[in-house]
Each structure stands twice: as structure tokens, then as C-alpha cells.
């Protein structure tokens, strides 16, 4: 089963949209196998955004992602990387498709609410940055619960 990393960025936390965005992923049928709220420091942000180190927007990217806590989660499901990217929408919310998270809630290119891994390889790398193996869970969401 495929996994992807999703980060609900500082603007999601600030605007109290955490639950509404998580609900969309669950409604789509994806399983949350890891989730936590953290405050990303500059070292962790630099590691995560290493592909952008030499780009002119790098420092503002770091300032934004370290400005407030974020929610990091690992979603699991069939074709989850591509499907989540479609659900999130274009980085520029003004160009995002109607019905995507960024179209519905985004305010700008920077304040775009969500990070989602771009590929299976990126997902594998990013998940290891934010989660230890023991923080990820495997379970059957359809297994009947025992009663006491």
C-alpha cells in the first residue's frame, strides 16, 4: 500500500482548518497511519526543503513553515500520492481547480495550507524526516472492534 506525507502548514493551524482538511482525506478513503503536531525548527525545515536551498524564496519558505506549529501526517491508500496532490491543487490557489483544498481555502502562493509529497520517492524520504518507524501504524479499519 502506498504512503504519502502531508503537512498542514501554519496557515491551516492559524485559521482553524485542521479538522476540515483532515476530513477531506478521510472522506476520500485514505487511512491516517501517523499524525502529530510539531513545531518545525530551521534545521528540520532545511532538511525537508533541501531541493529549494539555492532558490530566491528559500528563506521566506523557512520563515513561514517555522512560524507556528504544523500537523504532519502520513496517509495510506491506493495511488495516494497522486490522489492527494490532486485534492490539494495547484501551489498558486488562484490557479487551483475548483473543489481543491487550495482553491477553497488558499490565500496566496505562500499561504497555501498544505504540503503533499510530489512522488513516491519524495514521500519515502519525507516520511523518514518527520516520523520514526514506531510512530507509523498498520491496522485494518474494517475489522470489528471487540466489546467488553
Tell me which residues are annotated as active site.
115
Q: Which one, of 89, 50, 53, 48, lies nearest residue 65 by Cα?
A: 48
Q: How many CA atoms lie within 13 A of 34 on its CB side?
A: 21
> From CA 49, how far away is CA 45, in angstroms rounded?
6
In the sheet that holds 31-38, the strands lie side by side as 31-38, 70-77, 2-8, 114-116
Q: Nine-digit cell at 100?
A: 481543491
Q: How far apart are CA 38 and CA 128, in angstroms?
A: 15
Amino acid at each position: 500500500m502506498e504512503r504519502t506525507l502531508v503537512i498542514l502548514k501554519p496557515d491551516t493551524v492559524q485559521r482553524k482548518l485542521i479538522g476540515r482538511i483532515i476530513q477531506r482525506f478521510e472522506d476520500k478513503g485514505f487511512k491516517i497511519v501517523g499524525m502529530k503536531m510539531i513545531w518545525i525548527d530551521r534545521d528540520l525545515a532545511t532538511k525537508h526543503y533541501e531541493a529549494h536551498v539555492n532558490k530566491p524564496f528559500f528563506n521566506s519558505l523557512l520563515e513561514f513553515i517555522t512560524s507556528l506549529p504544523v500537523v504532519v501526517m502520513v496517509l495510506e491508500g491506493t495511488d495516494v500520492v497522486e490522489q492527494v496532490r490532486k485534492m490539494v491543487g495547484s501551489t498558486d490557489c488562484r490557479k487551483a481547480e475548483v473543489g481543491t483544498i487550495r482553491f477553497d481555502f488558499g490565500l496566496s502562493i505562500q499561504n497555501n495550507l498544505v504540503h503533499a509529497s510530489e512522488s513516491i520517492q519524495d514521500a519515502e524520504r519525507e516520511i523518514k524526516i518527520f516520523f520514526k518507524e514506531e510512530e507509523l501504524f498498520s491496522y485494518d479499519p474494517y475489522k470489528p472492534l471487540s466489546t467488553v
